Structure 1
Amino acid sequence: METSELTAAERRVWQAFARGEPVDFRATPDEDAANGDGWGPERTLRAAALKALLVRAPREEGEIPSLKVSGARITGALNLTYAVIDHPVRLTHCHFAEVPDLYGSRLRQLSLRGSVLPGLSLGSTRVDGVLRLTDCRLHGPLRLGGAQIAAALFLERAELAAREGTEPVLQLNQSVIGDDLWAPGLHVRGGAHLDGAKVDGSVTLEGAVFDNPGGTALSAQTLDVHADIRARRLRARGTVDLRGARIVGRVDLTRADLATPGGTALRASSCAIGELWLHRCAPIEGILHLRRSHIEVLSFEPESVPGEVLLNNLTYGALTPHEPAERRLPLLERDADGYVPHAYEQLTAAYRRLGDDHAARLVQLAKQRRLRGTRAFHGRLWGYVQDATVGYGFHPLRAAVWLLSLLAAGSLAYGLHHPRPLKASEAPHFSPVFYTLDLLLPVISFGQEDAFAPDGWYQTLSYALVIAGWVLATTVFAGVSRTVSRQ
């Protein structure tokens, strides 16, 4: 394109470009670029003219050229596919009539702050500095798959909306960001994909909204973040999928609102996460899926968890805040896989690391009760007996109470009806208390059991006391040994 073919507005931009001067077509700083369809020729730039400007790059000696335009209406398709642009490009608060295509291009720096676009193609683009899309409004897909951004990507308060039934509106698959992904207040309607992306800094999504009911609102499978994901007050309608992600720091979902009725609200399976925070969240609607993940610190209040969870093979180093076992156990009972022994062992280990042996015993007792429900009738019956008598060995004092009760009953019975001596001349003086102790205690002998022989109903009672003594005494010993070994 020859300079003689330029309009007055385009000539003004060409002249300012060589000196790196800004050109602002706006009447007021608060103009809305959404009304750009009505802007006249005095502030209209053809995409072909901008392309020619960037490719030719006119220079003035001693000046640093750059494109700095605000409040322009850009007509036609800005096609810079595979172009190498060595100058900063700032097309802020502009209205684009067609989708700019910068696929495979290399840019020094790009800012489209406050602009309105029907879409944007930046797939496989390399940006040597910052890519700024702050306050942008896109009515079609933002394609950044495979892009390499040396510095930060800014998407704060951007609004992205996909047309009905089209591809995901935000595409950052396999992209590499050398600094932060800064997107507080981002609003995405139609699905966002960050699968395989790598962020060397933090991902900030505070107050962001991802809206894709019935589908995946945010897909970040195998996402690699070298710092934190800050997503306080995030709102998602649709699945948030972090499957296989590696987050070195913290995933902070404090006060988040996650809802996928009838589906999976948060999937963080097979992940390696430093800390996962779900503080003061609205009750999650949908499944919380944490299978096979390793989380150093898992932090949530029990009332935040949904009605259904998947926790098999989840491991965590610490569980905060410290809550009584009675408040944590209902979560394990709602596991969609049914009885998951590993989940109980993890919770037990977490309490033991805190030194709360009482809570650890309660978890183990709950584990045995869940296991009882998986067994055949006779196994369940024997389980009920163990639970009622000794609490599966986790309540040794209960066993001691049973021993004392049986001792009192036996002493009373044999005190009223002395058993006959086997050898009257050699039999010691009969003591109903020590005779009952001889029956109850399988190891200790006071010489009473071998010297006297009850008959009839009293003989049946002696058999029952011997069996009960073996069970209860062994349980008391096991309970004491377990306590000593933990100390």
Structure 2
Amino acid sequence: MPFEPGTAAGPAARSELAAGEVRCRVRSIGADLPVVEIRDAHVTGALDLRACRLSRLLRFTRCRFDEPPDLRDADLLGLAFEECSLPGLRAGNARVRGDIRLLGCEVTAGDADDGAVDLTDAWAGGSLVLTGSRLQHPDGHALRADRLAVTGSVSAQRLDVVGEVGLGGLRTGGDLDASGARIGGTLSLTGAHVGGDLLLRRARLGKGSPGEPIVEACRLRVGGDVDAQRLAVLGQVRATGVYVAGEVRLPGAILVAPGHDVLSAARGSVSGDLRLTCARIAGTVRLPGFTAGGDVDLSGSRLTDAPYAHWSLDLRSARVGGDLLLMARDDRPFSADSGVTIDGAAVSRRTDLTGAMLDVGTAPWVAFDAGGGTSAEFVLWPAEIRTGTVDLRRARCRLLSAAPTLWHATAGIGLLDFRYDMVSVPDTLRGDEGADLLRRAMAFHQPGPYDQLAAALRTSGEETRARTVLARKHQYRYAALADDLLLFGFVVRLWSRLQRGLVGYGYRPGRAVAALVVLLGATAVVLAGAAQAPGRPGLGDWPGLVLGCAAVLLSASVTAGVAHRLADRRRAQAGRLGSPGPGLPPRTGSGTLEGERVIERS
């Protein structure tokens, strides 16, 4: 509501005015003046307007109060304090049909006061404006506005607060704008409902103790977007069960709570994107069970100082309707020094680690955990995995793109029951190179990863390379068996070389045909020589014995090769029948998840 209609005449500049006289003036102003304004006054005594009913706007400009004005249970047309100095404001249960304004005011509460500004259970038919004010109550609530109902917006731009801000149960019809605010205490938004956007651009929150909760936003509901560009928080942010109807944007944010959960939003939900790009985070980001209808983007962020035996980023059982992006951005790699987990998460489109730097200095010693997770595409091209292993057990994807740096993880890769349909990069997981990388990545021989790679190569039309991978699988199996047998290992290696040379473990039938032709030719030569000199003394029957032994070895190698190939075929058929496939949620036009299948952890 505008503040410019005609006003009652106020006293001269900085004149002293008793609180009783102010009360009389307020009650005696005629009905023809819609605004009661007191200017440049020093109000002495306690201004008691409790339960006052006034159908006019009450405005104080450049006034100084000795005692906190008391407007509890008052019913006003409007209330404004502009550039005033107050020891507090008591307006609990007040009903203001217009705006409540504290513009450029200085409010300093005493130690015995409950709060510097008390708007508990108040109602405003307009907006609450706190722009440019300074509220101080170091030992308590600088602003207490629990269950405040505001039909319009709450504007707290450049608000400077020393003390706590209680907005639990707040109801606003419009935005909550605290851009540029400085709050040196706990900000409570528990159970609040913001009808519009929540704006915290360049805000500074914290009071010097990073281990304490600074933002309490459990069950917060926002009807629009959350825009917190370059937000800085010293302390913990707790937002369990938060719901945002739009997007959450925190580019360039600084969140500091070393050794603690710096951001916790378990079971939270965002209808749009969650963007925490190029952020500097000290502590753990915990988002288990989080649901995002769009992308989850932490590209270029740096996560450090997580609690002992905790992840830097925890996205277990999350649901992402778009892409999960943990990439480099603007020459800044995504880095996490205590690992990342997306165990059991479902990503509708792409999980991208291009240019990421992963590390883990403490237990559980896993740099990247995607066990049981599903994604339409895994783009696993980290720039470096300094320490730790990569866990892909029971993960599912349709398309796999993996860099050599992934397979060179220092502690290996968990590949048990990891399934993918196609391989998109021809130079890393193809033929001999792919088999060698798998062998290097696994701590011990497992046939499953080779079978999975061969199946993906067949799907991509690479039948020859698929056979090469399966042949290498048997070669490595015999090598592992020979290492276990020790004394008789040379026999196993000899048998392996014989099969590899003659039949390629069943996947080089041309070699068997060539060996058979050579054997038949040698037999014909021996028989022809014997027929030409039947009585001639020679070397006895050794040619026949050699040929017979060669025939036996060739038959045994062919039989073993056929057995290998049939066993691989049965295993592949069993895998196709026993597994329902990646089980990925279908992609819809709105980017939401539909028909998703939850994969339980064993």
By the TM > 0.5 criterion, same fold? yes
Q: Could you say which residue in structure 2 is the equivalent of 1:364?
A: 470
Change (3 A) 1:363 1:462: closer
Residue from 242, 246, 251 that aligns with 1:184: 251
Change (3 A) 1:229 1:4: same
Q: Structure 2: any 5+ residue segments left out of the alignment?
A: 1-45, 51-59, 70-77, 83-95, 207-212, 307-311, 361-366, 402-423, 574-602
- Residues 102-146 of structure 1, C-alpha deviation per residue, up to 9 Å, x if partnerless? 233333332211112233122222222222222112225222222
TM-score by length of 2: 0.60
Change (3 A) 1:24 1:15: closer
Q: What is the SS of the residue equivalent to 1:74?
A: strand
Q: Could you say which residue in structure 2 is the equivalent of 1:259?
A: 336
* Aligned partner letter, 2:63: A
Q: What is the SS of the residue equivalent to 1:222?
A: coil
* Aligned partner letter, 2:314: D
Contact 1:302–1:331 (8 Å) recurs in 2: no
Change (3 A) 1:186 1:74: same
Matches within 5 A, 1:304-383: 308-320=389-401, 321-324=424-427, 325=429, 332-333=438-439, 338-372=444-478, 375=481, 376-377=484-485, 381=493, 382-383=495-496
Q: What is the SS of the residue equivalent to 1:14?
A: strand
- Residues 197-235 of structure 1, C-alpha deviation per residue, up to 9 Å, x if partnerless? 1111111122122223xxxx2221111111211222222
TM-score by length of 1: 0.72
Change (3 A) 1:461 1:146: same
- Residues 321-348 of structure 1, C-alpha deviation per residue, up to 9 Å, x if partnerless? 4232256556644657744544444433
Contact 1:312–1:340 (8 Å) recurs in 2: no
* Aligned partner letter, 1:323: P
Q: What is the SS of the residue equivalent to 1:299?
A: strand
Q: Could you say which residue in structure 1 is the equivalent of 2:224?
A: 151
The structure with the largest strand share of the pair is 2
* Aligned partner letter, 2:368: L
**Is the aligned partner of 1:125 residue 2:211?**
no
Q: CA deviation at 1:72?
A: 2.1
* Aligned partner letter, 2:371: R
- Please give the alpha-carbon distance, in whole angstroms, between the structure 1 residues aligned to 2:445 and 2:127: 65
Q: What is the SS of the residue equivalent to 1:349?
A: helix
Q: Structure 1: any 5+ residue segments left out of the alignment?
A: 26-41, 59-63, 163-168, 425-453
Residue from 125, 132, 142 that aligns with 1:71: 132
- Please give the alpha-carbon distance, in whole angstroms, between the structure 2 residues aligned to 1:145 and 1:374: 54
Q: Could you say which residue in structure 1 is the equivalent of 2:156?
A: 91
* Aligned partner letter, 1:106: R
Contact 2:126–2:151 (8 Å) recurs in 1: no
* Aligned partner letter, 1:211: A
Q: Could you say which residue in structure 1 is the equivalent of 2:578?
A: none
Q: Could you say which residue in structure 2 is the equivalent of 1:450?
A: none
Number of equivalenced pairs = 419
Q: What is the SS of the residue equivalent to 2:118?
A: helix
Q: What is the SS of the residue equivalent to 2:282?
A: strand
Q: Could you say which residue in structure 2 is the equivalent of 1:459?
A: 545
- Residues 362-419 of structure 1, C-alpha deviation per residue, up to 9 Å, x if partnerless? 4434444454455453685444543454433334444445445555665666665569
* Aligned partner letter, 1:364: L
Q: What's the % identity of the aligned pairs?
A: 19
Matches within 5 A, 1:401-440: 401-403=514-516, 406=519
Contact 2:200–2:227 (8 Å) recurs in 1: yes
Q: CA deviation at 1:281?
A: 0.9
Q: Could you say which residue in structure 2 is the equivalent of 1:443?
A: none
Q: What is the SS of the residue equivalent to 1:70?
A: coil
Q: CA deviation at 1:282?
A: 3.9
Residue from 201, 207, 210 that aligns with 1:134: 201
- Please give the alpha-carbon distance, in whole angstroms, between the structure 1 residues aligned to 2:153 and 2:350: 39
- Please give the alpha-carbon distance, in whole angstroms, between the structure 2 residues aligned to 1:314 and 1:4: 67
Q: Could you say which residue in structure 1 is the equivalent of 2:347?
A: 273
Change (3 A) 1:93 1:456: same
Contact 1:254–1:281 (8 Å) recurs in 2: yes
Moved more, 15-24 or 110-119: 15-24
* Aligned partner letter, 1:8: C
**Is the aligned partner of 1:205 residue 2:276?**
yes
**Is the aligned partner of 1:301 residue 2:381?**
yes
- Please give the alpha-carbon distance, in whole angstroms, between the structure 1 residues aligned to 2:250 and 2:377: 25
Q: CA deviation at 1:89?
A: 0.9
Contact 2:122–2:149 (8 Å) recurs in 1: no
Contact 1:288–1:306 (8 Å) recurs in 2: no
Change (3 A) 1:292 1:80: same
* Aligned partner letter, 1:297: E
Q: Could you say which residue in structure 2 is the equivalent of 1:228?
A: 295
Q: Could you say which residue in structure 2 is the equivalent of 1:386?
A: 499
Q: What is the SS of the residue equivalent to 1:92?
A: coil
Q: What is the SS of the residue equivalent to 1:232?
A: coil
Contact 2:81–2:101 (8 Å) recurs in 1: no
Q: What is the SS of the residue equivalent to 2:394?
A: coil
- Please give the alpha-carbon distance, in whole angstroms, between the structure 2 residues aligned to 1:353 and 1:401: 30
Contact 1:310–1:336 (8 Å) recurs in 2: no
Aligned-residue CA RMSD (Å): 4.1
- Residues 233-266 of structure 1, C-alpha deviation per residue, up to 9 Å, x if partnerless? 2222242121111112111222142232xx5x12
Change (3 A) 1:395 1:460: closer
Q: Could you say which residue in structure 1 is the equivalent of 2:313?
A: 240
**Is the aligned partner of 1:173 residue 2:247?**
no
Q: CA deviation at 1:56?
A: 4.7
Residue from 128, 137, 147 that aligns with 1:82: 147
Contact 2:505–2:564 (8 Å) recurs in 1: no
- Please give the alpha-carbon distance, in whole angstroms, between the structure 2 residues aligned to 1:384 and 1:351: 25
